[in-house]
Amino acid sequence: MCHYCGCREIPLIKEFIAEHEAVTDLAGDAVRALGAGERDRARTLVAEMAARLHTHWAGEEQGLFMVMGEAR
């Protein structure tokens, strides 16, 4: 998403962006945990990422993308 058109202020888009950022943060934490030899922590973080992404993808597919498809 861009930073200049204002789309980030649309509530649904804002929520999806926040979810993207949360998963990116978890990924960084997982990489750092691996670097520190904390495999169990990394495994837990990756499992959390997977759960969040599953919910996120479902929301995009069943909500955002459906609405966008209808707008054609």
pLDDT at residue 1 greater than cutoff 60: no
Residue with tokens 């169990």: 40
pLDDT tens for residues 7-64?
888 888 888 889 999 999 999 999 999 999 999 999 999 999 999 999 888 877 777 7
CA angle 58, 10, 17 (to 5 degrees): 50
In a domain, 2, yes or no: no
pLDDT value of position 30 = 98
Q: Which domain holds residue 45?
A: 11-70
Distance linking the first and last C-alpha atoms of the chain: 20
- Does any domain span residue 25? yes
DSSP 19-61: HHHHHHHHHHHHHHHHHTT-HHHHHHHHHHHHHHHHHHHHHII
Is 4 domain-assigned?
A: no
Q: How many domains does the chain have?
A: 1
